[in-house]
Each structure stands twice: as structure tokens, then as C-alpha cells.
Amino acid sequence: GDATHTTELVVIGAGPGGYTAAFRAADLGMEVTLVERWPILGGVCLNVGCIPSKALLHAAKVIDEAEAMASHGVQFGKPKIDALKLRDWKNEVVGKLTGGLTQLAKQRKVKVLHGVASFQSANRLELDSGETIDFEKCIIAAGSESAMIPGLPDDERIVDSTGALELHPLPKRMLVVGGGIIGLEMACVYAALGTRVSVVELTDSLMPGTDKDLLRPFRKIIDQRYEAIMLGTKVTGMRATTPGIEVSFEGEGAPDKEVYDRVLVAVGRRANGDKLKAENAGVNVDERGIIKVDKQMRSNVPHIFAIGDLAGGPMLAHKATHEAKVAAEVAHGAKVAFDARTIPSVAYTDPEIAWCGLTETDAKKDGVDFEKIQIPWAASGRALSLGRSEGFTKLLFDKHTGRVLGGGIVGPNAGDLIAEVGLAVEMGADAADISLTIHPHPTLSETIAFAAEGFDGSLTDLY
Ligand code: FAD
């Protein structure tokens, strides 16, 4: 119908940014309306992003570890993959979380409306149903979408990450276009399920922006497992044929053409800021669909905030939720700001790759006076007993003060381990703070303590 709603705060989009902002604002006592175009809450992260991909990566890990145990005296049979059942399980995991959100919204008396929202003015939204919402304040959390290469044939064998998460039918031979985290995580899943995987990346490095040394142990593994890894290579065309998708390449050492029965396009994501008629509210959106914000997450229109993937910076769920709390608190009148020193990055590949704070590449580029301590996991009893000694932990310290500037970890569970480095960076901890903290033995976390103990200055105060 064309009902008119009025609300103190409206939040557009129910992803990790939007639902977190809505819940925080409601907890603070605001009257909140949450608008979501999909029938289910949770956004990209819960429905077609972080959570389903991690469920499938878990299955991949179990398969790979079972295989690795064969050389240590425990042999399993060849895994029988029921892709539909695996997909059902993944969907169940997602369903538990999204169902939980609906409950949480109810408990907090957050009014949820389903529909596509756009601005009519700086104080009114319109839904595609014709309903309108008059609001005092607004938090835009409409996220991002997979970027597609223009001009590709319309063919169901060419998919984005959402299509790849559907798993069905399992391809024999797949090309992943884009060597970023999302593409490489899906590559790990499909390789474990038995697909012959190739990766093509335009730049000269996988996961651009990551220190090259962190990639080395991962490269060693995928160089053996994947059919081809084509760096500095451009996809110049795709043609749908009966046997498969014919892809043409341009790059040193790359083949002219190859045929694949699935192509995953994972070349980045595009912010949704320009799909909301934000100009009707006077909100500036840049050419990449990003809404620029200040430290309080305000757009150029002070009572309209933007958070998450469409607010610029790394497109990560934990960044969206952190910004969400800031925006909700500011909307409620608190004098707070987004002031995080670091946003950790994690690739949940096998091995996992994680880093936070200053990277070694940037430290060198910026002429920072730092000391690096690197602990190979071959020195960790826990890593050896996991049969995984290829990883390492490195920490960067300020050479003079011993402060932890950043760190990188590669190996199983690196994503969990990096949280300690994040805490150290955020608190301004120094090497002694970490080395004087008793780390449980035998754990992978000890490698962080070893790195701190290795810092030159860490013992000098004692003598
Ligand atoms: P989104 O999650 O994109 O949510 C936006 C919501 O707004 C959507 O529900 C959308 O339907 C809705 N919406 C959009 N326009 C409108 C409109 N006009 N009206 C109403 N509703 C609207 N991040 C991590 O941190 N860790 C990971 O492991 C990770 N893995 C990922 C794996 C994959 C395959 C993908 C694709 C992403 C992954 N990400 C990961 C990124 C993460 O999903 C995003 O950073 C996060 O979802 C951003 O949250 P958001 O709230 O900004 O937006």
C-alpha cells in the first residue's frame, strides 16, 4: 500500500553494518526502522559472503587434512562429495544466523520493512512498494555488489561469488578471474572438492597489498595443486560454446585460449551508494558509488550517515560493524568517532594469511625505523604436531620504543591469531608487554610471544 511511516532513525540495508547500527541505536533508546530489500536479514556477509564461504572452507579443510594424514599413517578413502547436501548444510548455517537476527530485531522493537529504498528528500525515503518513511536521521548501509566485467556473454556457467557458493553442478575445470581474497577462497573450496582450478590476475601479484613473503607458503601449496596461476595476465574475451566457456588471455606465458566449464568472476566489488537517489537528499556520492564520510560517519548532510562497504575503505564486515556502532552512537548524540588504529585483514585460504597494522612493504616505503622479528613455525611444537610447519609469524616493532607497529601471520588459524596483534597495536603495547604475558603451551599463539622475545630491546631493561 502507500502507507506513511515516521521514525526517529531509519537504517537502509540489513547487512552487518545496518543491523548492528539499528540494534545499537535501539539499545540506546532510539525509535528505529530498518529497511531491507531482501526477504532475509544479514546482508552479503551472512547470506552470500563471510559465513557461507567459511562453512565451505571448513569442508575443504577437513578434506585436505584427511588427505595429508595418509602420509602420517592414517588413511581415509577418497571423499564422496554430495554437493547438494554440502550446500544444504551451508544454507542451514546461514539460516540459523539470519533467523537469529529477526529475533533480535523483534526483541529490540526495531521495525523491519522489506523493500527497495530511495531518497525523495533529506527527510523522506520511498520504498518500491510506494510506502514512504519520514525520518529525522538516517544511516545508509546499502553495501556493495560484485563488479562484473562488461561485455561478458549471459551464460549460467559464468558466475560471481554468489553463484560460486551454490556449488552445483561441480565443474571439472574452473577459471577464477581475479586473484583477490574472495576469488582465492573459492578456489580453495573448489580445488578441495576435486575441481581443476586456474587463477588469472591482472597485476603481478595475488592478493595485491599483502606483503609478498606472507604469500610464499600459500603459493608453494597452490603451485602444486592448481592447474595454472597466471599473473600479469588480462582476460581479453569470453565466448560461450557447447563444450564450455572459451576464454582468451593476453600476458607473458599465458595461453591464447582455454576452455573451462565454469568461470568465477571475482574482480572486486562496487559500492551501492549511487543506487539510492542520494542526490534527492543532497548527499554526495563519488564515481565509485562511495559516500564519503567524516570520522563520525556523517555524510556531507549532517543527519545522514554512511557505513560499511559503501563508505569507503576496506570492504570488510568487522569494519562495517565498528562503524555502525559509531554512527548509531553519534546519531543518538554521543561525542564519539571512528578511531581504530588498525583493521585486520584475513584470507581464509589454506594456509590462512592475516595481517594488521603497518605492513612491511609500507614500513619500508615510508622509511619507518622498524625491527622485524620473524618466527618460522618449524620452531613451534604445535605447528609441527598439526603437520603444518610451513607458516610463520612476523612482528614489526618500533626500533626505539619497542612498540608493536604491525604483524603478519601465515598458517592454519592465522585469522584467529592476528587478533592478539590487533590488540597490541590498538593498545600501543610494546615487545615486553607481549613477552611478559604467559602464552599457553603448546599453542600457535606462542609464536607471537617468541617474536616479542626476539626483539632486541625486550630484555635490556632488566640488566
Ligand atoms: P552488505 O552486507 O552488502 O549489506 C547491504 C544490505 O543492504 C543488503 O542486504 C542489501 O540487500 C541491502 N540494500 C541495498 N540497497 C538497498 C536499498 N536500496 N533498499 C533496501 N535495502 C538495500 N568480510 C569479512 O570481513 N570477512 C570475510 O570473511 C568476508 N568474506 C566474504 C566472502 C564473500 C564471498 C563476499 C562477497 C564478501 C565477503 N566479505 C567478508 C565482505 C563482507 O561481506 C562485507 O564487507 C559486508 O557484508 C559489508 O557489510 P555492509 O553492511 O556494508 O553491506
Burial class of residue 209, CB neighbours in 10 A (0-12, 13-18, 19+): middle
Given this model, what pLDDT does residue 201 score? Answer: 98
Question: What are the residues whose beta carbons fall under 8 Å from the beta carbon of 28, sequence distance 6 or more?
Answer: 328, 329, 332
pLDDT of residue 462: 54
- Dihedral sign for Cα 440, 441, 446, 450, please: positive
The rounded Å distance from CA 18 to ligand 1 centre is: 10
Ligand 1 centre and the CA of 240: distance in Å? Answer: 30
Strands (E), 273-403: 304-306, 345-347, 353-357, 370-376, 392-398
Q: Which residue among 44, 90, 181, 352 has the greatest number of ligand 1 atoms within 8 angstroms of its CB, and so is best to mutate?
A: 44
Q: How far apart are CA 174 and CA 118, in angstroms?
A: 38
In this prediction, residue 2 carries a pLDDT of: 75
463 residues of the chain, pLDDT tens digit each? 579 999 999 999 999 999 999 999 999 999 999 999 999 999 999 999 999 999 999 999 999 999 999 999 999 999 999 999 999 999 999 999 999 999 999 999 999 999 999 999 999 999 999 999 999 999 999 999 999 999 999 999 999 999 999 998 899 999 999 999 999 999 999 999 999 999 999 999 999 989 999 999 999 999 999 999 999 999 999 999 999 999 999 999 999 999 999 999 999 999 999 999 999 999 999 999 999 999 999 999 999 999 999 999 999 999 999 999 999 999 999 999 999 999 999 999 999 999 999 999 999 999 999 999 999 999 999 999 999 999 999 999 999 999 999 999 999 999 999 999 999 999 999 999 999 999 999 999 999 999 999 997 655 555 5
Query: Annotated active-site positions, please?
Result: 441
Q: How far apart are CA 320 and CA 20, in angstroms?
A: 9
Structure confidence at residue 123 (pLDDT): 98
**Residue type at 11 in one-letter notation:** V
Give me ligand 1 centre to Cα 49, in Å. Answer: 7
DSSP string of 408-439, one letter each residue: EEESTTHHHHHHHHHHHHHHT-BHHHHHTSPP
Closest atom of ligand 1 relative to the 17 alpha carbon: 51
381 is in an annotated binding site: no
The residue whose CA has the least distance to atom 32 of ligand 1 is 49
Distance (Å, whole) CA 45 – CA 301: 28
For residue 65, what are the CA distances in angstroms to 72, 248, 382?
A: 11, 35, 15
pTM of the model: 0.97
Euclidean distance between CA atoms 51 and 57, whole angstroms = 10
144: three-class secondary structure by DSSP: strand
Residue 317 annotated in ligand binding: yes
Note the pLDDT of residue 402: 96
- The pLDDT, as a whole number, for residue 460 is 52
* Chain position carrying cell 563488479: 147
| Residue 420 confidence (pLDDT) | 98
In angstroms, the CA 241 to CA 260 distance is 10
* Alpha helical stretches, state H, 108-180: 161-164
Let me know the angle formed at the C-alpha of 448 by 442 and 450, rounded to the nearest 5 degrees: 75
Question: What is the rounded CA–CA span in Å between residue 417 and residue 408?
Answer: 10
Q: HEC profile for 192-243?
A: HCCCEEEEECCCCCCCCCCCHHHHHHHHHHHHHHCCEEECCCEEEEEEECCC
184 is in an annotated binding site: yes
CA nearest neighbour of 403 among 438, 375, 443, 363: 363
In angstroms, rounded to a whole number, what is the distance separating the alpha carbons of residues 106 and 99? 11
Amino acid at 103: Q
